[in-house]
Amino acid sequence: MLTAQEVCQVLRDVSAGSRSMRRITEQTWNEIFCGLMSVEVDGWLISFFNDCGELDYCDSCCSPDDRKYEFTSTDIKALDPVALLSPEEHRKLEELLTST
């Protein structure tokens, strides 16, 4: 099982530019507007929820070694990797998702 902290570190690496991300979902971030968008980062498969054009939370993640993280709404701030990002990291990740 993946922890939110492990997934958050991958997201931090993406926002810092040390890892690249490619879109798997056919639609772009702006085309989805409200729904899930999946990306791949060095073998990590990550799905984000786009809420009216804004990065809301990480819905799920599967690591290259097949460990999984799945969002649960019981405690969003403690369990969501996106919520663990700094405001600057969150902004940068959202910009990258928009341009991917």
pLDDT value at residue 89: 97
CA dihedral sign, ordered 71, 3, 66, 34: positive
Whole-prediction pTM value? 0.91
pLDDT in tens, 56-82: 999 999 999 999 998 876 655 558 999
Mean pLDDT of 25-50: 96
Q: E strands along 1-95, which residues?
A: 22-23, 34-41, 44-51, 54-62, 68-70
pLDDT at 76: 52
